[in-house]
């Protein structure tokens, strides 16, 4: 009988271990939802992550920082595991309790990231991992625009033959910011008179604007088909379009513009935080980060990855603009609530 009890006990332990293993496997997430810009991730890198971990990445897209903010507001930060957040928005989302704290214990590959980018925006060091950085400028078709573009005014006061062939980014900070820069003001201005001038400039331009949505970067892009001749655009995206048409040109306007940093953040409402952090850590493996930079044509904040990039990529003046080029460029700063409300009203009157 003692032997039978021993056998029964052994079988019971084996059953318990099997059941525990099944429950653990069932508890492992099979999918993460990643809120991102379109064309901002290499599909092959996502496949590699899935092969390593068994976790698939489902991407959900937004086409402006304003749209992302509205989406997170509607959902109260729920329904997503990882999200791309622009630097100026991290403090606001963290204050609402929607972002999970991140550090080198949970993201060991943070050690590869240049500290300058981690601390560039308020609360970014605590709630974000730098993804890419870049600038804002003008993209245009050299064969459709009859002069060399040099200024924001070329876009904001387009010649008559370009009416209906220009587009703007439907983002309040970017759109109002470039109007302010065109007028010689800071893109962080809170002066009522300067903002009124910026609104007047954007209102006068509006009849010539075909769309306020960010244009696609594939072979069906309106800039490639000729439906558009000029647009606001983030610098690296130009290189994607130039793969299809050599007449695509990009310029950093002489008045300057915005320098931005995008951050990877984990949503605090996510039930899969450990897997989300694992994904972010994977993206910051130097070899992975270097491959991703070359796919999206943007400058990486990952110093170890940057050392792996080809010399011609690191010397590309569109991807890595010089200090001289950026002398009139600014980052977005924290604005008082009244100024934010004023800008939201201006944006609404123009776009909606």
Which pLDDT tens digit goes with each residue over 47-60? 999 999 999 999 99
- Indicate the pTM of the whole model: 0.89
Strands 129-141 and 248-251, sheet pairing: antiparallel
Rounded to an integer, what distance in angstroms lies between the CA atom of residue 330 and that of residue 121?
A: 12
* Among the listed residues 333, 337, 345, the one whose alpha carbon sits nearest the alpha carbon of residue 199: 345
Q: Is the pLDDT of residue 192 over 50?
A: yes
| Contact assessment for residue 234 and residue 133, using Cβ atoms and an 8 Å cutoff | no
CATH of domain 134-258+326-351: 3.40.190.10
For residue 352, name the pLDDT band (cuts at 50, 70, 90): confident
CB atoms under 10 Å from CB of 154, counted, come to: 21
pLDDT for the residue 27: 55
Where in the chain are all domains bearing CATH 3.40.190.10? 10-133+260-314, 134-258+326-351
For residue 77, name the pLDDT band (cuts at 50, 70, 90): very high
pLDDT for the residue 28: 64
* Among the listed residues 207, 162, 197, 159, the one whose alpha carbon sits nearest the alpha carbon of residue 176: 197
Rounded to an integer, what distance in angstroms lies between the CA atom of residue 249 and that of residue 116?
A: 30
CATH superfamily of 10-133+260-314: Periplasmic binding protein-like II (3.40.190.10)
Determine the 3-state secondary structure of 31 from DSSP. Answer: strand
- The mean pLDDT of 272-294, rounded to a whole number, is 98
* Among the listed residues 59, 58, 99, 85, the one whose alpha carbon sits nearest the alpha carbon of residue 267: 99
- The mean pLDDT of 3-27, rounded to a whole number, is 44
Rounded to an integer, what distance in angstroms lies between the CA atom of residue 141 and that of residue 202?
A: 22
* Among the listed residues 134, 188, 176, the one whose alpha carbon sits nearest the alpha carbon of residue 325: 134
- The mean pLDDT of 143-163, rounded to a whole number, is 97
List the beta bridge partners of residue 209.
166
């Amino acid at each position: 009988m003692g032997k039978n009890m021993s056998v029964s006990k052994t079988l019971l332990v084996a059953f318990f271990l099997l059941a525990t293993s099944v429950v653990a496997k069932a508890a492992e997430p099979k999918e993460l939802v990643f809120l991102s810009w379109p064309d901002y991730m290499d599909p092959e890198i996502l496949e590699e992550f899935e092969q390593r971990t068994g976790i698939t990445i489902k991407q959900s897209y937004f086409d402006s920082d304003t749209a992302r903010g509205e989406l997170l507001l509607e959902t109260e930060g729920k329904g997503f595991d990882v999200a791309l957040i622009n630097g100026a928005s991290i403090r606001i989302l963290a204050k609402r309790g929607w972002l999970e704290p991140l550090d080198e214990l949970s993201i060991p590959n943070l050690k590869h990231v240049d500290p300058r980018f981690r601390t560039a925006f308020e609360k970014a060091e605590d709630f974000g991992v730098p993804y890419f950085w870049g600038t804002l400028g003008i993209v245009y078709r050299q064969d459709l625009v009859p002069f060399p573009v040099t200024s924001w005014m070329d876009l904001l006061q387009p010649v008559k033959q370009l009416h209906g062939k220009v587009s703007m980014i439907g983002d309040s900070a970017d759109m109002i910011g470039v109007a302010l820069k065109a007028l010689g003001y800071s893109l962080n201005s809170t002066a009522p008179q300067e903002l009124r001038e910026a609104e007047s400039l954007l209102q006068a331009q509006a009849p010539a604007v075909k769309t306020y949505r960010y244009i696609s970067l594939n072979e069906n892009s309106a800039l490639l088909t000729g439906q558009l001749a000029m647009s606001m655009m983030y610098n690296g995206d130009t290189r994607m379009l130039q793969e299809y048409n050599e007449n695509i040109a990009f310029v950093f306007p002489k008045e300057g513009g915005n320098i931005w940093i995008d951050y990877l953040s984990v949503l605090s409402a996510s039930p899969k935080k450990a897997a989300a952090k694992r994904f972010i850590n994977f993206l910051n493996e130097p070899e992975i980060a270097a491959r991703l930079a070359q796919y999206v044509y943007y400058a990486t904040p990952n110093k170890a990855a940057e050392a792996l990039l080809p010399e011609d990529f690191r010397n590309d003046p569109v991807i890595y603009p010089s200090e001289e080029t950026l002398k009139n460029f600014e980052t977005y700063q924290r604005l008082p609530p009244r100024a934010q409300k004023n800008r939201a009203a201006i944006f609404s009157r123009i776009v909606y």
